[in-house]
Amino acid sequence: MTDTSEDNLNFGFIAFKEEQIDEIAKKVGLRFSKSGYLRTIDNKPKACDCCGHSIRKKNIGSILPGSNIVYCDNPVCYTEYMEKYLKL
Amino acid sequence: MGIVDVLKKLGKGDLLNLFKIEVDNSKNYDDRGANITINVSGRDKIEYTPPNTIEYQLVEKDHKKLYKNGISGYVREDLVMPQIGMMASRASKTKIFNKYKWRIEEKYYRAMITSYAIISFEDFGDFVTSNKLFDNLVKRFPSCGRRIYNFCRSGLMEGFFSNKLGELIFQGADEPVIREKFKVFFSEYVDFYPHAVWVNRIMSFNEVLTDIDIRLKLDYISWLDIYFRGNERVDIAEKLETYLEGHEGLVIDTIDRYDICKSPCVRIGIRKIKDKFTCV
């Protein structure tokens, strides 16, 4: 393994599985309703911050720590998330 | 304690499978983490620096500090590698990102990231996603999105701008001076790039000629590339080719024909052979 610092990227991601999503949502002040949709702590619907589509466990993509910024798994939204928050 | 043990101890053992981490046991990893080589979709290898153990502890204790500590986010596991692979599987792109970070304005850098994502999808042949991304890019960066995409797609980030940056670095200036100078240089070229015309959907043949004329009337411009993409624009390219063949002040240097996704593209390179002339 050679040291290629110039090529190195720290993406700083923490990957989660579907079964971990409840716990992570709770950490950022969100929760999933009984009908499966993401909601804020005051029970308002939480949509994707890019496309505005409602978010369920199956289409959640990314959550920014320390905020309730959530993106769905659409590549367009995901790219916006990377562009805005990824530490490239 | 090796990094594998650290990850397992913290219950993050799944990360090892997720990232298909190849651990070099001969290296003594400490608690600060270390660079790890990972395979990206069976293609090129990239280096990945895993979050260190302190950050892992922060996951449990105070997630609000995560972002400040370089954690970009919680990401669904099946999205991590495809997207990272899309963005960074080529070492050249990684170098490009590192080269321009902090040296161009943030909005340009962000537009650049999306532009390379669009290019990746185009190269994969996913026209639908690349189109959606492009619409999003223009919507988010109305003033510079198209231009930055054109720079990236035309290879100017790897060529023209990279060379200019190289010149500044070679002159031995300090990094803050390089950043300041290059930011100004780059911004000026985003506003007006004199060495190329990118023909868009709404440009007529006469407008293309006017754009060429504006550029070639500049004293310091002796050559110009004109890019056409899509069937309708290729028709304009053919018209321009015929028009320029009989022109006394200009000569066609190169004509490249290629495809991006399913769109036919043409690049016409022209050179000025008379100082004073008019194209229109």
- Per-residue CA distances from B267 to A45, B95, B240, B252, B279 (Å): 49, 26, 11, 11, 18
Residues of A in contact with B68 (CB under 8 A): 66
Cβ distance B79 to A16 less than 8 Å, yes or no, reads: no
Residues B229-264 have pLDDT tens digits of 999 899 999 999 998 887 778 888 899 999 988 889
Between A22 and B50, residue with greater pLDDT:
A22
- Average pLDDT (B195-216) is 91
Cβ distance A63 to B73 less than 8 Å, yes or no, reads: yes
pTM of the model: 0.68
Selecting from B24, B35, B66 the residue whose C-beta is nearest the C-beta of A8 gives B35
Residue of A28, A79, A86 to mutate for B, most B C-beta atoms under 10 A: A79
Domain boundaries in chain B?
Answer: 3-87, 93-191, 196-272
Name the range with the highest mean pLDDT among A5-19, A69-83, B5-19, B212-226: B212-226
Cβ distance A1 to B37 less than 8 Å, yes or no, reads: yes
Residue of B76, B77, B78, B122 to mutate for A, most A C-beta atoms under 10 A: B76
E strands, A1-88, in order: 13-16, 30-32, 38-40, 60-63, 70-72
By mean pLDDT, which of B6-20, B134-148, B200-214, B254-268 is the weakest? Answer: B6-20
Question: What is the rounded distance in angstroms from the CA atom of residue B249 to the CA atom of residue B109?
Answer: 38
Give A81-84's long-range contacts (Cβ < 8 A, gap of 24+).
A81/A50, A81/B73, A82/B83, A82/B87, A82/B113, A82/B117, A83/B110, A83/B111, A83/B113, A83/B114, A83/B117, A84/B110
Q: What CATH number should be reported for the domain whose range is B196-272?
A: 3.30.110.20
Cβ distance A14 to B51 less than 8 Å, yes or no, reads: yes
